[in-house]
Amino acid sequence: MSRDPAGTIYLLHFDEAIADHARHYLGWASDLDARLEAHRAGRGARLMEVCRERGITWHLARTWEGTRERERAIKARAEGPRLCPDCTPSPRPVAKGRSAAVRPAPEPEPAAEPGLSSPWPGRPDLEAEADGYARYWDLTDALIAQWQAEAVAAAIEVPAPRPGEPEIEAHEPEPELEMEP
Protein backbone atom coordinates (compact mmCIF):
# COMPACT_ATOMS: atom_id res chain seq x y z
CA MET A 1 0.00 0.00 0.00
CA SER A 2 1.33 3.42 -0.92
CA ARG A 3 1.75 6.18 1.64
CA ASP A 4 1.43 8.81 -1.10
CA PRO A 5 -1.86 10.73 -1.06
CA ALA A 6 -4.24 10.20 -3.95
CA GLY A 7 -4.41 12.93 -6.55
CA THR A 8 -4.62 13.38 -10.30
CA ILE A 9 -2.05 12.25 -12.85
CA TYR A 10 -2.28 14.39 -15.97
CA LEU A 11 -0.86 14.41 -19.49
CA LEU A 12 -0.28 17.73 -21.24
CA HIS A 13 0.01 17.85 -25.04
CA PHE A 14 2.22 20.58 -26.57
CA ASP A 15 0.95 22.06 -29.84
CA GLU A 16 4.57 22.23 -31.08
CA ALA A 17 7.46 19.93 -30.26
CA ILE A 18 10.17 21.28 -28.00
CA ALA A 19 13.67 20.57 -29.32
CA ASP A 20 12.24 18.23 -32.00
CA HIS A 21 11.17 15.57 -29.53
CA ALA A 22 9.24 16.67 -26.43
CA ARG A 23 5.50 16.86 -27.15
CA HIS A 24 4.11 15.85 -23.74
CA TYR A 25 4.44 16.48 -20.05
CA LEU A 26 3.18 13.99 -17.48
CA GLY A 27 2.68 15.16 -13.92
CA TRP A 28 0.80 14.63 -10.67
CA ALA A 29 -1.16 17.11 -8.59
CA SER A 30 -3.29 17.05 -5.48
CA ASP A 31 -5.07 20.16 -6.85
CA LEU A 32 -5.11 19.90 -10.65
CA ASP A 33 -6.57 23.37 -11.30
CA ALA A 34 -3.89 25.09 -9.20
CA ARG A 35 -1.15 23.02 -10.83
CA LEU A 36 -2.34 23.87 -14.36
CA GLU A 37 -2.46 27.55 -13.42
CA ALA A 38 1.15 27.30 -12.19
CA HIS A 39 2.11 25.70 -15.52
CA ARG A 40 0.38 28.53 -17.42
CA ALA A 41 2.55 30.96 -15.45
CA GLY A 42 5.68 28.95 -16.35
CA ARG A 43 6.19 27.62 -12.82
CA GLY A 44 6.39 24.12 -11.41
CA ALA A 45 8.45 22.35 -14.07
CA ARG A 46 11.38 23.49 -16.19
CA LEU A 47 9.78 22.09 -19.36
CA MET A 48 6.68 24.22 -18.79
CA GLU A 49 8.90 27.26 -18.23
CA VAL A 50 10.52 26.59 -21.61
CA CYS A 51 7.05 26.33 -23.21
CA ARG A 52 6.13 29.74 -21.82
CA GLU A 53 9.45 31.30 -22.92
CA ARG A 54 9.02 29.99 -26.50
CA GLY A 55 5.30 30.78 -26.68
CA ILE A 56 4.35 27.14 -27.18
CA THR A 57 0.71 26.46 -26.37
CA TRP A 58 -0.50 23.28 -24.69
CA HIS A 59 -3.66 21.69 -23.36
CA LEU A 60 -4.74 18.98 -20.93
CA ALA A 61 -5.05 15.75 -22.94
CA ARG A 62 -5.77 13.03 -20.38
CA THR A 63 -6.05 12.37 -16.64
CA TRP A 64 -5.93 9.37 -14.32
CA GLU A 65 -6.58 9.00 -10.61
CA GLY A 66 -3.57 7.90 -8.64
CA THR A 67 -0.62 8.54 -6.41
CA ARG A 68 2.85 9.92 -7.15
CA GLU A 69 4.04 6.31 -7.22
CA ARG A 70 1.62 5.55 -10.06
CA GLU A 71 2.73 8.73 -11.86
CA ARG A 72 6.35 7.52 -11.72
CA ALA A 73 5.26 4.11 -13.03
CA ILE A 74 3.42 5.69 -15.96
CA LYS A 75 6.41 7.96 -16.68
CA ALA A 76 8.69 4.90 -16.65
CA ARG A 77 6.66 3.49 -19.55
CA ALA A 78 8.08 6.35 -21.68
CA GLU A 79 5.21 6.24 -24.14
CA GLY A 80 3.56 9.65 -23.95
CA PRO A 81 2.40 9.66 -27.61
CA ARG A 82 0.78 6.23 -27.22
CA LEU A 83 -1.13 7.43 -24.15
CA CYS A 84 -2.20 10.73 -25.74
CA PRO A 85 -5.62 10.82 -27.45
CA ASP A 86 -4.42 13.71 -29.67
CA CYS A 87 -1.51 11.65 -31.05
CA THR A 88 -3.15 8.21 -31.15
CA PRO A 89 -6.77 7.52 -32.18
CA SER A 90 -7.04 4.70 -29.63
CA PRO A 91 -4.67 5.59 -26.80
CA ARG A 92 -3.29 2.77 -24.70
CA PRO A 93 -4.98 2.08 -21.41
CA VAL A 94 -2.91 2.17 -18.28
CA ALA A 95 -4.13 -1.25 -17.18
CA LYS A 96 -1.09 -3.51 -16.98
CA GLY A 97 2.14 -3.67 -15.08
CA ARG A 98 3.42 -1.51 -12.28
CA SER A 99 1.55 1.57 -13.54
CA ALA A 100 -1.79 -0.20 -13.08
CA ALA A 101 -0.88 -1.98 -9.87
CA VAL A 102 -0.79 1.21 -7.82
CA ARG A 103 -4.16 2.43 -9.05
CA PRO A 104 -6.62 3.30 -6.28
CA ALA A 105 -9.20 0.64 -5.50
CA PRO A 106 -12.40 1.04 -7.54
CA GLU A 107 -15.39 2.50 -5.78
CA PRO A 108 -18.31 0.09 -5.21
CA GLU A 109 -21.20 0.34 -7.67
CA PRO A 110 -24.30 2.05 -6.32
CA ALA A 111 -27.31 -0.08 -5.46
CA ALA A 112 -30.23 -0.19 -7.84
CA GLU A 113 -33.03 2.27 -7.24
CA PRO A 114 -36.45 0.79 -6.51
CA GLY A 115 -38.25 -0.07 -9.74
CA LEU A 116 -35.09 -0.18 -11.89
CA SER A 117 -33.56 -3.44 -13.10
CA SER A 118 -30.01 -2.05 -12.95
CA PRO A 119 -28.35 0.91 -11.20
CA TRP A 120 -27.28 2.62 -14.46
CA PRO A 121 -29.30 3.27 -17.60
CA GLY A 122 -27.80 1.53 -20.61
CA ARG A 123 -26.63 -1.50 -18.68
CA PRO A 124 -27.51 -4.85 -20.29
CA ASP A 125 -30.80 -6.51 -19.46
CA LEU A 126 -29.74 -9.46 -17.30
CA GLU A 127 -32.56 -11.72 -18.53
CA ALA A 128 -31.72 -11.00 -22.18
CA GLU A 129 -28.04 -11.52 -21.41
CA ALA A 130 -28.81 -14.87 -19.77
CA ASP A 131 -30.48 -16.25 -22.93
CA GLY A 132 -27.66 -14.86 -25.07
CA TYR A 133 -29.95 -12.35 -26.77
CA ALA A 134 -31.42 -15.30 -28.71
CA ARG A 135 -34.36 -13.26 -29.99
CA TYR A 136 -31.89 -10.98 -31.81
CA TRP A 137 -29.91 -13.73 -33.55
CA ASP A 138 -32.07 -13.75 -36.72
CA LEU A 139 -31.91 -9.96 -36.99
CA THR A 140 -28.15 -10.00 -36.45
CA ASP A 141 -27.64 -12.69 -39.10
CA ALA A 142 -29.79 -10.71 -41.58
CA LEU A 143 -27.82 -7.51 -40.95
CA ILE A 144 -24.50 -9.29 -41.36
CA ALA A 145 -25.65 -10.85 -44.65
CA GLN A 146 -26.84 -7.44 -45.87
CA TRP A 147 -23.52 -5.76 -44.98
CA GLN A 148 -21.56 -8.52 -46.69
CA ALA A 149 -23.67 -8.15 -49.84
CA GLU A 150 -23.18 -4.36 -49.79
CA ALA A 151 -19.42 -4.81 -49.40
CA VAL A 152 -19.27 -7.18 -52.38
CA ALA A 153 -21.44 -4.83 -54.49
CA ALA A 154 -19.23 -1.87 -53.61
CA ALA A 155 -15.97 -3.65 -54.41
CA ILE A 156 -13.50 -1.07 -55.58
CA GLU A 157 -11.49 -1.86 -58.66
CA VAL A 158 -7.87 -0.73 -58.65
CA PRO A 159 -7.20 1.27 -61.82
CA ALA A 160 -4.32 0.38 -64.08
CA PRO A 161 -1.26 2.62 -63.73
CA ARG A 162 -1.21 5.68 -65.94
CA PRO A 163 1.40 5.84 -68.69
CA GLY A 164 4.75 6.82 -67.24
CA GLU A 165 4.00 5.47 -63.76
CA PRO A 166 5.84 2.35 -62.66
CA GLU A 167 3.75 -0.65 -61.70
CA ILE A 168 3.82 -1.62 -58.07
CA GLU A 169 5.25 -5.06 -57.75
CA ALA A 170 4.52 -7.39 -54.89
CA HIS A 171 7.70 -8.09 -52.98
CA GLU A 172 8.36 -11.15 -50.93
CA PRO A 173 9.36 -10.48 -47.36
CA GLU A 174 13.05 -10.63 -46.68
CA PRO A 175 14.19 -13.71 -44.76
CA GLU A 176 15.05 -13.07 -41.14
CA LEU A 177 18.72 -13.16 -40.31
CA GLU A 178 19.84 -15.72 -37.79
CA MET A 179 22.22 -14.44 -35.16
CA GLU A 180 25.10 -16.67 -34.19
CA PRO A 181 25.68 -16.99 -30.43
What pLDDT shows up at residue 90?
76
pLDDT digits (tens, 9 = 90+) for 60-84: 988 888 888 888 888 887 877 888 8
- 7-18 and 22-29 strand pairing: antiparallel
Residues 6 or more apart whose Cβ sits within 8 Å of residue 111? 119
What tens digit of pLDDT does each residue of 126-138 get?
666 666 667 777 7
**Which range, 25-34, 88-97, 130-139, has the best average confidence (pLDDT)?**
25-34
What whole-number distance in Å separates Cα of residue 80 and Cα of residue 92?
10
Residue 95: pLDDT over 60 = yes
